[in-house]
Amino acid sequence: MKFDSPLFDRIRVRPGEDRSLRADAPECDWQGCSHKATHRAPKGRLRENEYWRFCLDHVREYNHSYNYFAGMSDDAVLKYQKDAVTGHRPTWKMGTGSRPGGADFGPEGAQDPFNMFREFAGGANWRPQSERIDPQKRTLRNAERKALHTLGLEDGAERAEIKARFKLLVKRHHPDANGGDRASEDKLREIIQAYNYLKSTGAC
């Protein structure tokens, strides 16, 4: 193997400095500069895959003042950053119903031979619709009845009613809603425990 071959430089960690500047490199795109363009710099938003060719000094100067979001409002920047998390593709929550423009992927009534929805849509308590017990038909345990009474609800309260009452009580008894007063902290703890218990039984 020839140790002075340009091909050998490509597989070494640091190519020889004497061959880093190619003789056929174009001139720097900076106005008035005639040095060799050894570095690329992006042209900016909406011009992806387009680059300026600069020498080392001018690429440093360009990068120092480069702003991808130039000309965008703060709201537009925040929306762009939020969408970037998912690669600017539409998303939807598991179990919320239909996919935009597609089939229904929610767990309601779905066949689940691999227990996929059990993990993503409802935890260990999820059951296919055919296996669910109607809250009106099943017998209430004493603990469930006590949890419902803690939330100020009657036996047989529906899911929507339980969730709405829970949210209302949390807002009412939270220290932040009472000027930092922790007097109702024990009551808030009871409410959260009662709701979590009802959730674990599938009542809400």
Q: Domains plus CATH for the chain?
A: 19-65 (no CATH), 142-201 (1.10.287.110)
- pLDDT tens, the chain, 204 aa long: 566 666 666 665 555 555 555 556 788 999 899 899 999 999 888 888 899 999 999 999 999 988 888 888 999 989 988 888 888 888 777 655 555 544 444 445 556 666 666 555 555 555 655 555 555 555 777 888 888 888 888 887 888 899 999 999 888 888 777 777 777 788 888 999 999 988 888 777
Residue 167's beta-bridge partner residues?
Answer: none
pTM over 0.85, yes/no: no
CB under 8 A, 24+ apart: contacts of 158-163: 159/135, 159/203, 159/204, 162/195, 162/198, 162/203, 162/204, 163/204
